[in-house]
């Protein structure tokens, strides 16, 4: 099948390479000429495990092409995926400018009937706005569909190639047949293709992210309360996770959720509720509590060090989660800004996100290529991302490098009893 994907961010690049891997002819289009030039040279603009090999292989075999000519990409395809960004507007709603601009380009480039699929995360009702935008520029018949993405950064390739389900909102038998053919190679093990009406598909994406965000936030509140009552959140987590109605996933406490999805989607769903005259009070609280959680590490530092002015703080982990270089809405942004505001010096390490950190902070913080170099002469270490290489601590090296043996572990990577045995003042989330 001839497929075009407009947008080469996390979602567009992964699905484009994935569809090419299953034998389709795919054109990925983007107006960013520098990004497209790099992709044509097999330079991947994001860190995502397994993605580079997919792009290199399929580009070499001619199934994957990159271009800045969006109109030509649309004209050459049977199915067009819209995968451009929907950044939050000032009021928290999703900004659909890019999506609707692409829809207009599709309309102007419509040379035969096509299926147009919104892959971007968009508010309920967006498919109809896309339909209207296309129709205003063409009389050629077309179908629209909604195919929300459920890709986890750091595992996006695996999630696309072996999805636990594929959600597809369609408006016609023709759209259903084409999308079934396109996705069947990825669900041969029996995981479902869930066809439904378009508004339900759009709602499913927001509902899933909101449920997970609420779960993380509630677990963080349980952890904060556990500290106050003398409970251990690790025991609590195992106790409730063993309940088959609850399960083990998304129960680890931490410094608050971040990334490109949960924060934006929770706010957008809250705005949708307001537009409909219905207050989503639980989600409003989720967003507020999550922002507060990002400041917990700073509060723990104050408790351990007193005034932070003049202190040097080392930070391990800048990305919002491991296995990505994405710092959007990361706890590190809040923590670093708070430390700088209080007059502290900050030295940072991350296996993949240092370039992004330099772009955001410039010379306001210090950067190190080796994690233990961040500790030299520092008054404390704060761990914010659960990278694998942080999980085993060299106790002697860390204690020798630090001016004061203070560690605030916002990911609960280390054992509190062992940390005390090695002479550290140790703070974690929800544990004695």
d(CA 290, CA 255) in angstroms, rounded, equals 8
Does pTM surpass 0.75?
yes
Cα distances (Å, whole numbers) of residue 108 to 33, 102, 175, 365, 415: 21, 10, 21, 48, 60
* Residues forming the active site: 261
Dihedral sign (CA 120, 65, 19, 168): positive
Predicted local distance difference test score (pLDDT) of residue 260: 85
Asked if residue 319 lies in contact with residue 255, where contact means CB atoms within 8 angstroms, the answer is no
Question: What DSSP character marks residue 3?
Answer: E
User: In tens digits, what is the pLDDT along the chain, a chain of 432 residues?
Assistant: 999 999 999 999 999 999 999 999 999 999 999 999 999 999 999 999 999 999 999 999 999 999 999 999 999 999 999 999 888 777 777 889 999 999 999 999 999 999 999 998 888 999 999 999 999 999 999 999 999 999 999 999 999 999 999 999 999 999 999 999 999 999 998 899 999 999 999 999 999 999 999 999 999 999 999 999 999 999 999 999 999 999 999 999 999 999 988 999 999 999 999 999 999 999 999 999 999 999 999 999 999 999 999 999 999 999 999 999 999 999 999 999 999 999 999 999 999 999 999 999 999 999 999 999 999 999 999 999 999 999 999 999 999 999 999 999 999 999 999 999 999 999 999 998
Tokens 């916002």 sit at which residue? 410
What are φ and ψ of residue 102, in 5° steps? Answer: -65, -40
User: Which stretch of DSSP H or E encloses residue 147?
Assistant: none
d(CA 282, CA 149) in angstroms, rounded, equals 24
Dihedral sign (CA 139, 140, 141, 145): negative
Predicted local distance difference test score (pLDDT) of residue 225: 96
3-state secondary structure of 345: strand
Dihedral sign (CA 202, 208, 209, 214): positive
Q: Which domains does the chain have, with CATH numbers?
A: 2-195 (3.40.50.720), 206-292 (1.10.1040.10), 294-427 (3.40.50.720)
Asked if residue 145 lies in contact with residue 175, where contact means CB atoms within 8 angstroms, the answer is yes
Q: Where are the alpha helices (DSSP H) in 109-197?
A: 126-135, 156-161, 173-183
Predicted local distance difference test score (pLDDT) of residue 309: 97
């Amino acid at each position: 099948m001839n497929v075009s994907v407009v947008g080469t961010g996390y979602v567009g690049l992964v699905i484009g390479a994935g569809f090419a891997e299953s034998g389709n002819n795919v054109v990925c289009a983007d107006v960013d000429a520098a990004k497209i030039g790099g992709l044509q040279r097999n330079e991947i603009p994001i860190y995502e495990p397994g993605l580079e090999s997919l792009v290199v292989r399929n580009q070499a075999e001619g199934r994957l092409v990159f271009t800045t000519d969006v109109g030509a990409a649309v004209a050459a395809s049977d199915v067009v995926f819209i995968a451009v960004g929907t950044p939050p507007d000032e009021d928290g709603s999703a900004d659909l400018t890019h999506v609707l601009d692409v829809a207009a380009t599709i309309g102007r480039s419509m040379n035969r009937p096509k299926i147009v699929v919104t892959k971007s995360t968009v508010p309920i009702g967006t498919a109809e706005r896309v339909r209207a935008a296309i129709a205003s520029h063409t009389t050629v018949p077309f179908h629209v569909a909604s195919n929300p993405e459920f890709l986890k950064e750091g595992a996006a390739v695996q999630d696309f190639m072996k999805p636990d389900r594929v959600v597809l909102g369609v408006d016609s038998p023709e759209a259903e047949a084409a999308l079934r053919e396109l996705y069947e190679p990825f669900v041969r093990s029996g995981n479902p293709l869930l066809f439904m009406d378009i508004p339900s598909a759009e709602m499913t994406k927001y509902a899933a992210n909101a449920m997970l965000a609420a779960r993380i936030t509630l677990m963080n509140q349980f952890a904060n309360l556990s500290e106050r009552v003398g409970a251990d959140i690790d025991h609590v987590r195992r106790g409730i996770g063993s309940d088959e109605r609850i399960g083990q996933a998304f129960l680890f406490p931490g410094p608050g959720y971040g990334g490109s999805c949960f924060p934006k989607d929770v706010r957008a769903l809250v705005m949708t509720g307001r537009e409909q005259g219905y207050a989503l009070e639980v989600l409003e609280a989720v967003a507020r509590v999550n922002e507060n959680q990002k400041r917990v590490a700073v509060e723990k530092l104050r408790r351990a060090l007193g005034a932070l002015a003049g202190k040097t703080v080392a930070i391990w982990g800048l990305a919002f989660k491991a296995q990505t270089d994405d710092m959007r809405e990361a706890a590190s942004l809040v923590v670093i800004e708070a430390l700088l505001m209080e007059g502290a010096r900050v030295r940072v390490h991350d296996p993949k996100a240092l370039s992004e950190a330099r772009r955001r902070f410039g010379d306001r913080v210090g950067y190190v290529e080796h994690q233990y170099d961040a500790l030299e002469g520092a008054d404390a270490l704060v761990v914010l991302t659960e990278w694998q290489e942080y999980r085993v601590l060299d106790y002697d090296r860390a204690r020798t490098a630090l001016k004061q043996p203070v560690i605030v572990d916002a990911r609960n990577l280390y054992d509190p009893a062992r940390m005390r045995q090695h002479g550290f003042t140790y703070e974690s989330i929800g544990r004695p």
